[in-house]
Amino acid sequence: MDQDTSKNEKINDEVAETLESSNGPSNNYILNQSSENLEEVTTANNQATDEVQTVVEEPRMEETKQKPRNVRKKIPRSIQNKIDKGILTPMVIDYNGPHGVKSDTKLIYQFSAIAPNGTWIQSYIEAYSVAEVHSYLLSEGYQVYDIKTSKWINKVHSKDVATNVKMKTKDLVFLLTQLSTYIKAGIPLADAMRVLVEQYKKPAYKQILQNIVHNLVNGDAFSVALEKSGKAFPKLLINMVRVSEMTGDLPGTLDEMADYYDEIEKTRKQMITAMMYPTMVFVFAVAVIIFVLVWVIPQFVEIYESMDPSKIPAFTKLVIAISDFLKKDGIWLALGITIFVVLYVYLYKNVRSIRETTQWLVMHIPVFSNVVIYNEVTMFTKTFASLLKYNVFITDSMEILMRVTNNEIYKQLIYDTIQNLSHGEKISYAFKDHWAFPLPAYTMLITGEKTGQLPEMMEKVAEYYQEQHTQSVTRIKTFIEPVLIIFLTVNVGIIILSIVLPMFGMYEMVM
């Protein structure tokens, strides 16, 4: 009996240690928990207490019980040794000292902590002070051991906070759809974002969402938290979320934005699919032509050297000259083309006049022009309809549209509209007889103004030109494929003809 009693006491001691570790990483953490988290901890303790009673009542079955997971297995041995020896202890914050001093701008802090799942984490976060980082980490269930910042950390690890990462459209659609579902199910916004953090595998995406959770916990509105994520989220989405915060219909806005970006992604995939085969044909054609000029033509040069130069056709000499140039200086040609492309892309992104000229030329190329114009009209009218539907003022809507579009022609068109509105003119005045805005769309715009059903009319225009855009993409594919095949056939035919014709001259000389 005494043996059983001592065995029970031993088990109770082991389980008590487990309960002590399950109560949280530190006393500071418990004190900073919300009432909701306290209820969760209490529930967990009650469940653990039931398990204790079961173990005490059946000590002989202890080997069959599943032992609590030992979090130390997830901590590096060197770190665990320092913790056991007391060298590394939980961080104590001096809120009235340097830890509580806030900077004028956000700094990047490096922190070391044990996560709620028991793993050792060393990561980076943006904040105004050490105390802010510490409070946030404690509220998330972390046991914090170190928080620091320096000029070196801010310079080297600026990319680790993921403010320069842009979320892909397909991932954005998934995020909006899931977030809307969670909010409709009654899950608080911050908790829903925490769930989404676990669903993404990319570290950059995880960091983006963790930063949003951090900002939400610190009292920022959702739109502000999205805006602080840098380039991660589109400007249109941020503005629509800001409007929904005023109207109280965040789930509806998220659903609509998910559909909006889903349509954009479908359009992009249609363009990629339509251009994939022609691009492959073009690359193959260029590769064949280069191969023939660089490796095949030189094999016949020695044969042609024995002939009378006057007997060699002019275009054969031209092909030989091109072949000789590519063989000797082809690498410099490729380098020059690469430098030109890189320089042009840089100028296109940074010089407005270059960008506007390029877009104007593309929008005037036969066949291709309709694809660009129809796509711009679709995006403009669909976005405009969404903004009006949520009662955004027309002037504000135009400013948002000007920030959203990347087409300089449409930016100027929208700017002219804003100027006209400031002088009391109608929206349609700037779009009248403009080559980049089709007449049917202009007619629908006027109709919407007169009937007071502008959002509905813009939606119809968007649907119509979405279909027109799809048909234009299909026509381009139908047009480009035979053109590229003819291009390949003609070029290879000319090269082969330039090789064969001198052969006939040699045959006549022999005869």
Each residue's pLDDT tens digit, 45-93: 444 444 434 333 333 333 333 333 333 347 888 888 888 888 888 888 8
Arithmetic mean of pLDDT, 209-233: 88
Phi first, then psi: what are they for 16, rounded to 5°?
A: -65, -40
Number of separate domains in the chain: 4
Residue with tokens 């007997």: 311
Q: Is residue 270 part of a domain?
A: no
**pLDDT per residue over 169-218, tens digit each?**
999 999 999 999 999 999 999 999 989 988 888 888 888 888 898 889 88
Q: What is the pLDDT of residue 22?
A: 39
Q: How far apart are CA 321 and CA 319, in angstroms?
A: 5
Arithmetic mean of pLDDT, 358-373: 90
Q: Does 216 lie in the same domain as 186?
A: yes
Highest mean pLDDT pick, 38-42, 43-47, 307-311, 469-473 = 469-473
16 vs 81, more confident: 81
Q: How far apart are CA 447 and CA 468, in angstroms?
A: 21
Q: How far apart are CA 122 and CA 144, in angstroms?
A: 10
- pTM higher than 0.75 for the full model? no
Nearest of 148, 115, 387 to residue 247 by alpha carbon:
387
Q: Is residue 186 part of a domain?
A: yes
Give the CATH number for residue 243.
1.20.81.30
Given 106, 140, 161, the domain boundary residue is 161
Q: Does 386 lie in the same domain as 237?
A: no
Q: What is the pLDDT of residue 503?
A: 72
pLDDT class of 505 with cuts at 50, 70, 90 = low
Q: What is the pLDDT of residue 17?
A: 46
| Cβ burial, residue 18 (10 Å; 0-12/13-18/19+) | middle
Q: Is residue 508 part of a domain?
A: yes
Structural domain span for residue 191: 169-263
In sequence order, what DSSP letters do the residues of 306-369 get, joined into one string? TS-GGGS-HHHHHHHHHHHHHHHHHHHHHHHHHHHHHHHHHHHHH-HHHHHHHHHHHTTSTTHH
Q: Is residue 122 part of a domain?
A: yes
Q: What is the pLDDT of residue 408?
A: 93
Q: What is the pLDDT of residue 478?
A: 81
Q: What is the pLDDT of residue 7?
A: 44
Q: Does 443 lie in the same domain as 318?
A: yes
Q: What is the pLDDT of residue 140?
A: 81
Q: How far apart are CA 280 and CA 495, in angstroms?
A: 21
Q: What is the pLDDT of residue 127?
A: 81
Averaged pLDDT of the chain: 79
- Which of these ranges, 55-69, 245-259, 262-276, 410-424, has the smallest mean pLDDT? 55-69
Q: Does 227 lie in the same domain as 337?
A: no
245 vs 306, more confident: 245
Q: Does 182 lie in the same domain as 131?
A: no
Q: How far apart are CA 327 and CA 319, in angstroms?
A: 12
Arithmetic mean of pLDDT, 33-49: 42
Given 115, 145, 161, the domain boundary residue is 161
Q: What H or E segment, with its residue span, contains residue 274?
A: helix 250-291
Q: Is residue 10 part of a domain?
A: yes
Q: Does 374 lie in the same domain as 409?
A: yes
Q: What is the pLDDT of residue 485?
A: 83
What would the two tokens of residue 270 be?
């249609």
Q: Does 433 lie in the same domain as 385?
A: yes
Q: What is the pLDDT of residue 229?
A: 85
Q: Does 426 lie in the same domain as 391?
A: yes
37 vs 235, more confident: 235
| Residue 66 Cα to chain centre, angstroms | 43
Q: Does 174 lie in the same domain as 157?
A: no
- Which of these ranges, 185-189, 254-258, 325-329, has the smallest mean pLDDT? 325-329
Q: How far apart are CA 226 and CA 236, in angstroms?
A: 11
Q: Does 311 lie in the same domain as 225?
A: no
Q: Does position 141 have pLDDT exceeding 50, yes or no?
A: yes
Arithmetic mean of pLDDT, 447-463: 92
Q: Is residue 103 part of a domain?
A: yes
SS3 annotation, 45-92 = HHHHHHHHHHHHHCHHHHHHCCCCCCHHHHCCHHHHHHHHCCCCCCCC
SS3 annotation, 149-206 = CCHHHHHHCHHHHCCCCCCCHHHHHHHHHHHHHHHHCCCCHHHHHHHHHHHCCCHHHH
Q: Does 480 lie in the same domain as 396?
A: yes
Amino acid at residue number 255? D
Share of the chain residues as helix, strand and coil, in percent rounded to the nearest 5 = 75, 5, 20
Arithmetic mean of pLDDT, 241-255: 88
Q: What is the pLDDT of residue 221?
A: 92
